[in-house]
A and B are shown apart, each in its own frame.
Chain A
C-alpha cells in the first residue's frame, strides 16, 4: 500500500476512520460470542450427520468377530478392536488388485485431462483460427447431454476398438472431458491479451507462450480439473460395470459390489472393504483441499 500524498485527492483519507469504526462495532467482520456458540453448535450437528455414517462403518469394520454388532445399544468404539476383517477381505477378493486397477484408470484419466484439456483450452482462448467458434460451440453443446444417454453406444465404440473388458477401455472415453476443456478455456481467458502480445514481440511462439505464460497462470484450475478427474474416475461405477466382465479386471467400486453381493451376510467384511475404497480418496482430498477451495474461490466450480 502506497500512501498517496497528492492533496488533490483527499478521498483517500476517509478510508481509514471507516475501517476503524467497522472494527470497533461488532458488525460484520466480527461475530458476537452468542452467535459464535450457535454457529459451532450447528456446525457440530451437521458434522455428526455428514461424518457419522463413515465413523459407524469404520467402527463396524474394526469390531471383533465375537462382538455383537447388532446390539440394541449401539457402541461406536469397538470392544475388541481388530484388523482381522481387513485381512479377511484381501483373502476373499483380490482387493489390492482392484485398488491398483482403479489407480491405473484414475491416473490415465487425470493425465489425459490435464494435458488434453489445457492444450485445447489454450488454443481456443489464446489463438486465433478459423472455426474456433464452431469448435467451442461443439464443446458447449455436449454439456447438455447426460453421459448415461450415450453410455450404450460408447460401449459399442469401445468394443469395436477391441477394448471391451480392459482397463484402458474403462479409462479411454473419459480421458478428455468436454467440461474440463471449457474450464481450462475459461481460466486461460482471464489472462490479459497484452501479456501475449508482449511475448509475441519478444519472439515467443505459441508453444512457448503456452508453456511459460499460460500454464503457470492457470495452476489453480488445473488442480481442480485434476482433483475432479481423479475422484470421478476412482468413484465411477456404472461405466466400469458395463465395460468389465472379468472379475480379474474389476475396479474397486465394481469389486465392492461383487463383494457385497457374495458376502452380504458379513457386515464387518463389507465394512472393511468399503473403508479400503474410501480412505485413499479421503486422504487425496484432504491433502489437496486447499487447492480445491482456492479454485472454488477463483470461480473454477460453477456446477
Chain B
C-alpha cells in the first residue's frame, strides 16, 4: 500500500542524504586518495605514491602516540566501565533532590573539554591546588610536575578523561538499569542476598550488554583523545612531543606552511585501523558471550 507519490520520500531524505554523501562518504574515499599525495593546507599538491606510508613506519612521534593511545585505553577501560555503574546505582533511587545530583554529575560532560582541561591545568599547576594541598599535608616535599613530566602528563590527561566521562556512562547505565527486573532483586533479597551480592549477581548480569557497548565506546574515545592532551600540554604534546595522540599529530600536520594534508590523511588511516580493531574484538566477545 502506497500513501504517497514516488518522489515525496526522496524530497524528505535528500537533504540528509546529501550531507551523508558530501561530508561522510566522499571524505572517507578522499582520505585514501589524499594519503597518496603531498597536498598542502593552502591547496595544491601531487601524487607521491607510497611515500607517506613509508614515512609512517619511521615516525617516532607516531610510535609514542600509539603507545600513549594503548595506555590511555588500558587505564580508562576498567575505571570507566565500573565507576559509572556504581554512580548509576547511586542515583537510581528517586530520593528527594536526586535530579539535582544527576544533573550535577552530568555537568563535566556538558562542559567543553577545553574548559575542563584549563580548569585541571590550573588545579595541577606547580603552585596549584593539588600540589599546594599535598605539600601542606606533608605528602610531598616539592611540587610534582603533573604538566611537564612525560608520564605524569599522560596520567593527568587520563584522569581528566575519566573524570569527564563518569556522568556520560552513568546516564547510559541508568537507562539500562531501568530494564533490570525489580522482581529479580526482590527474589534475591528474599533469598537473603545483601546489597553487594545483589549488585554482583543481579545488577551486573542485567546490564551486561550495556557494559560491552560502553567498553567499546570507551576504547574508541580513548584512541580518539585530543583536547585533554592538547590543552594540558599547552598544544606542544609534552616533552619532545612524546605526549601526542594520533589525533594531535593529524591536527599538527593540518596547518601552516609546514603542514602536509597527505601525511595527515595517512595518519587518519592509521587512526581508522586502530579504532576499528578494538571495536570488532569487543563486538566479537559480545557475540561469543551471548552464545555461551
CB of A20, distance to nearest CB on chain B (Å): 16
In whole angstroms, how far apart are the Cα atoms of A289 and B224 in the complex? 28
Task: Work out how many contacts link A and B, with CB atoms closer than 8 A.
Answer: 285
Residues of B in contact (CB 8 Å), total: 101
> Using Cβ atoms and an 8 Å threshold, which residues of chain A touch B30?
153, 156-157
The 0/1 profile, CB within 8 Å of A marked 1, for residues 72-112 of chain B is 00000000000000010011010100010111111110111
A124 to chain B: closest residue by CB: B13
CB of A124, distance to nearest CB on chain B (Å): 7
Whether A153 pairs with B129 at a CB distance below 8 angstroms is: no
Chain B binding surface, main DSSP class: helix
Given known contacts A152-B31, A235-B111, is B119 in contact with A54 (CB within 8 Å)?
Answer: yes
Q: Does A101 contact B (CB under 8 A)?
A: no
Q: Which of A50, A123, A200 contacts B9 (CB 8 A)?
A: A123
Whether A235 pairs with B231 at a CB distance below 8 angstroms is: no
> Using Cβ atoms and an 8 Å threshold, which residues of chain B touch A153?
26-28, 30-31, 34, 265, 268
Given known contacts A42-B90, A231-B110, is B31 in contact with A149 (CB within 8 Å)?
Answer: yes
Q: Which of B27, B175, B182, B247 contacts A296 (CB 8 A)?
A: B175
Whether B115 pairs with A256 at a CB distance below 8 angstroms is: yes
Whether A54 pairs with B271 at a CB distance below 8 angstroms is: no
Chain A binding surface, main DSSP class: helix
Chain A contact-residue range equals 35 or more
In whole angstroms, how far apart are the Cα atoms of A236 and B12 in the complex? 28
> Using Cβ atoms and an 8 Å threshold, which residues of chain A touch B10?
123, 129
A57, A124, A156, A231: which has the most chain B beta carbons within 10 Å? Answer: A156
> Using Cβ atoms and an 8 Å threshold, which residues of chain A touch B113?
235, 237
> Using Cβ atoms and an 8 Å threshold, which residues of chain A touch B114?
235, 237, 253, 256-257, 277
A49 to chain B: closest residue by CB: B163
23 contacting pairs across A/B (C-beta < 8 A): A31-B95, A50-B108, A56-B123, A57-B119, A74-B132, A116-B16, A127-B4, A148-B224, A150-B31, A153-B34, A154-B27, A155-B41, A157-B30, A235-B110, A235-B113, A238-B247, A260-B118, A260-B121, A261-B235, A278-B112, A278-B115, A281-B110, A297-B175
